[in-house]
Structure 1
Amino acid sequence: MVSSADIFISTAQRFLCSGKKKKRLSSSSCLDVAIQMLAVDLGLKPALLYDSNAASAEQLLQYLNHLQENGLLATALQVVSIDGNSLVVNSELMKSHLAELLQKRSLITVDVCPWREQPTISDMESRTEEMAKAILEFFMGKVDTRSSVSVLPEEMYGQWNLCTLFGILLGYPASYWFDQSQGFENCLRMTPLVVSKVWVCWQAGERRHSSCLYSFSVPEILWSDVYTHIQRWTALLRDRFSKQAVLADFSFSKETVILPSVAL
């Protein structure tokens, strides 16, 4: 009998090939992608930014459709393209996620503009809320998730900071912001960063695979300012995790790193 893990692997290797030589993902990479897809399907994260290889948004849609046809996904996940980046979105969870952020005004952004001596909590709350409202309206529109990729119009995101946008869409408790009209540098060079990660395991037949569900950082100097918010975020994630039985061994790790440069 073919296990669900084997179907995830064969489906990824069939539909997510990339490059002229149609290079296939390794079995381990396929299982990483599978866990991320299951997490979005199960409501453990509102979206996944697909970056395992250079597969197109259309290939990703074919991959999802094949998994749904085989009964491996319970939710009609949506593929959204933003400035050439492909996201897999749980539309219902995304709408409730954005609505909750706006209602509780809990959009934490960290200003890391390069001219600052150190990172600071951003005062861009109103602009960030406008972005969240616009994205919520986009997802409120009716979309045929199975037949086409939803493309976010450039006139919507042209003036937005995509780093902040993706942080919000991926469900991080805090996002970075910088003035991209002035460049893409930041002030995080040699700045102590608290890197937090959430890990889970998937036992599919005889295969057992661990994967990082979330990974985000906060400047150490601001950790005490955001600690309570991150604790609430972690508690909510634990609660969601307890309501499903597909993924196991939820764990949270934290370390402080100092890097010579940080790309956002």
Structure 2
Amino acid sequence: MSPLQHMLISAAQKLLCPRKKRLSSSTCLDVIVQIMAVDLGVKPVFLYDSNAASSEQLQTYLKSLQESGVVTNPLRILSIDENTFIFNPTTIESHLDDLLRSKSLLLIDVCSSRKQPVLGGFEKTTEHMTKTLSEFFKSELEKGSSVILLREELYNDWNLCTLFGILLGYPASYWFDQTRGFGNCLCMTPLVVSTVWVKWQIRDTNHRCCLYSFSVPEELWSEVQSHVQRWTEHLRERFNKQPVLTDLCFSRDTVTLPSVTL
């Protein structure tokens, strides 16, 4: 293990350690790659879910990455309903503006009352949510806060599953009528799972990391395939603009699960 790699892993294990649960070395490297992808503009947002580290701990950790030179942009932290995201202000603003302009987000209605999922459009409620979110980011970023809290009164009527899909930059996002419950119709439904992988070479170590993973019902795949392909091409364009991460590759599998939690 190189001195830099040892330092980065040690910093993550020390600074992102609620109570006594240490992150594994592999998980530490995954977190670093995800944060670098956000820093480099390859993805708009990273959802941190490796353990229960607080926003303050993540903020301290980001400072350590900036001091080491691994991160070069002033990344920010967003907290939503006890979920913590790390984002690049420039990338997230561009991402949301592009969505509003192109209306390119695909929504998949998976309400439990349906026999099978159906494909929807860029519904007005979701468009309003995206616009409000964009305005919220611009307003909060002007204040210069490192940690931003999305207040419950703002997102109370929003579908968080759809919201998270938008933030994370997925080409398609699930939607259901949460006023009628939080179940879905994906039980035993074949799903096409698309996964995006990258590598980060640090000295003599090549660390492979999953950058994106999202699913689409198999019966809808023929309708969304061209849309996902365009998303893939745009991702490749962003990836090719940076010199740090390598070996962008894509895989696809079909899975059927007895239950799916969104």
Question: Structure 1 length normalisation: TM-score?
Answer: 0.95
Q: In the alignment, which of 165, 168, 177 is matched to residue 166 of structure 2? A: 168
CA distance in 1: counterparts of 2:164 and 2:7, whole angstroms: 29
Query: Which ranges of 4 or more aligned residues in structure 1 deviate by more than 4 Å?
Result: none
Does the residue aligned with 2:43 lie in a helix, a strand or coil? Answer: coil
What is the percentage of aligned positions where both structures have the same residue? 58
1:107 touches 1:129 (CA, 8 Å); kept in 2?
no
Deviation of 1:114 after TM superposition, in Å, equals 0.4
Cα offsets for 1:87-142 (capped at 9, x unmatched): 00111100000000110111211000001010011356111000000110111121
Which residue in the other structure is 1:54 paired with?
52
- Greater shift in the superposed pair: 68-77 or 246-255: 68-77
Does the residue aligned with 2:22 lie in a helix, a strand or coil? Answer: coil
Deviation of 1:70 after TM superposition, in Å, equals 2.2
CA distance in 1: counterparts of 2:16 and 2:129, whole angstroms: 31
Task: Flag structure 1 segments of 5+ consecutive residues without an equivalent.
Answer: none
Q: In the alignment, which of 139, 153, 162 is matched to residue 137 of structure 2? A: 139
- Greater shift in the superposed pair: 49-58 or 66-75: 66-75
Does the residue aligned with 2:97 lie in a helix, a strand or coil? Answer: helix
Which residue in the other structure is 1:16 paired with?
16
Cα offsets for 1:6-62 (capped at 9, x unmatched): 33212211110023xx22111111001011011101111000110011111111111
| Correspondence 1:88 to 2:66 | no
Q: In the alignment, which of 114, 117, 120 is matched to residue 116 of structure 1? A: 114
Task: Flag structure 2 segments of 5+ consecutive residues without an equivalent.
Answer: none
Which residue in the other structure is 1:192 paired with?
190
Root mean square deviation, CA, Å: 1.4
- Greater shift in the superposed pair: 1-10 or 218-227: 1-10
AA in 2 matched with 1:10? S
CA distance in 2: counterparts of 1:226 and 1:157, whole angstroms: 28
Cα offsets for 1:150-176 (capped at 9, x unmatched): 000111100000000000000000000
